[in-house]
Every structure is written in C-alpha cells, then in structure tokens.
Amino acid sequence: MRRDNKPYSIRLLINACRAMYTRWRVVPQFDSVGSGLEIIGPQRLEVYGPDIHLGNNVHIQTSRGQMSRLCTWPDGKGETGTIRIGNNVLLTPGLQIVSACSVDIGDNVMIASRVYISDADWHEIYDRLASPGPLAPVRLEDNVWLGEGCKICKGVTVGRNSVIGAGSVVTGNIPANVIAAGNPAREIRKLDDTQEFKTRENMFSDIKNYNKTMNYLHYLNHKNNNYLSWFRTLIWPGRQD
C-alpha cells in the first residue's frame, strides 16, 4: 500500500491494543522499565534472560519479517550478562543485542535497522563446544548513532556523539565526536564538538506537548479515511491505495 487506509478510530484501537499488550506481555520480561516506553509491533520483540533494563522514553520499532531480540546469557562462571539501555533511546527493526558480560547503552542513542551488538565470541576458537567463549563489555556512550547493519563486537566502546557508518564492523574503540566506517571501522572525519547537538532528549522536554503532537499527526494521517474505502482496499486494492 502507498499509504495507511485505516480509519482514525481503527488506528486508536490498534494503539490501545498495542499499549495493553506491551504492559501485559512485554514489560514484565524486563528487570526495570522507565516511563514512556513505546513498542511498535511488540509481538515481534523477543526478550530472553534476566538483568535487562530500559530507561525513560525508549522507543522500539519492529517490522514484519524482522524480529528484534534482547538476550542475556550465562557467562559460564555462574553469572549472566546484563543489558542496560538509557533514556530517550531509539531501537529499530532487526536489532539484536546479545550479552554474556555487559552491554551498556547511554542516553539519546539511535540504532538503525539490522544492527548486531555482542559482548562475546560465543565459542572458543579451538574448543567449539565451549560457550560463551571470550567476552568483554560493550559501551555506547551518550548520543551515539549506529548506521544500518553495523556490527559491534566485544570489548568496544563508542565515544559520545560518534556516528558509525552503515555496514561497519566495529572491532576496536571509537573516540568521541567522530564519524567512523569500514571493516574494521576507522575514524574518517571529526565532528565539530563546539556545536550544540540537538538530541532525542529535546523531543521529550515537554512530554504532554509531545503526546499531543503525535496524536494530531495520527489524526492528520487518517482523517480522510472511512470504513467503506478501507474494506475496499482490503479486498480490491488499486494503484491509488
């Protein structure tokens, strides 16, 4: 479809059902969850293992055919990994974060689709039955932006405000305020750290106004739709749909 043909009342019903499913089925799987959690397609989010934490205003998007996964795993020494996600973080479809040590994601981080983050090798090189293999903590500092399809390997710290280009494989530390890309990812440009960064935190500085704006945008997107045309598009869609 070229656009969303559902009537506005159906959009409101879907939003309410999605929020109810999130509270009932998804939130209890986390050890702690801040306010303002929003999950698009919560049925396509897999949460496995203990010690997974979300801050305030975390937005998680999934899509058909792209499950997202947050998973902690035993470290082989009696402990499990931990995943801590800060405030105002955006996680998009196909994301996988798997931890047997520690994955720490700071505030205002944006993670594009199909990103893989892991703090372990998951098998020894010579003993392929040994799991989880070598491990080391991963840290994404505040306001990091990961491009689509990135791989973040064990022991990596990505510094504040830095951007990782699409498809990059990050095997070593990336300093703050740079753009890095490649396999392995290397610094290709410095950012001007004297400029003020506008982050996702700005979106939520007035949460009532944010919610009012989002509701109005939904209304604008659906206000001209009606049940008759919606049923028609379900049965006999055309190019205009």
Domain assignment present for residue 232? The answer is no
Q: Catalytic residue among 53, 123, 218, 222, which?
A: 123
Q: What is the pLDDT of residue 239?
A: 81
**Does 9 map to a domain?**
no
173 assigned to some structural domain? yes
The CA-atom distances, in angstroms, between 38 and each of 26, 34, 193, 208 are: 11, 11, 31, 15
112: pLDDT strictly greater than 80: yes
pTM: 0.92
Q: What confidence tens digit (pLDDT) does each residue in 16-63 have?
A: 999 999 999 999 999 999 999 999 999 999 999 999 999 999 999 999
- The model's confidence at residue 240, banded by pLDDT at 50, 70 and 90, is confident
Residue 104 backbone dihedrals phi, psi, to 5 degrees:
-120, 115
Is 53 part of the annotated catalytic residue set?
A: no
State which residues form the domain around 100.
31-195
Q: Which residue has the higher pLDDT, 107 or 194?
A: 107
Look over the chain and give the mean of its residue pLDDT values, rounded to a whole number: 94
In a domain, 174, yes or no: yes
Whole-angstrom distance, CA of residue 177 vs CA of residue 196 = 12
Is the pLDDT at 176 greater than 80, yes or no?
A: yes
Does residue 231 lie within any of the structural domains?
A: no
Considering the domain boundaries, does residue 60 fall inside one? yes
Residue 109 lies in a domain: yes
Residue 191 has pLDDT above 90, yes or no: yes
Q: In CATH, what number is assigned to the domain containing residue 110?
A: 2.160.10.10
3-class secondary-structure state, position 228: helix
What integer pLDDT is reported at residue 2 of this predicted model?
81
Question: CA distances (Å), 214 to each of 17, 63, 112, 122, in order?
Answer: 17, 20, 21, 41
Burial 118-127 (b: 16+ CB within 10 A, else e): bbbbeeeeee
Count how many domains the chain has: 1
> What does the DSSP 8-state code read for residue 238?
-
Residue 167 within any structural domain of the chain: yes
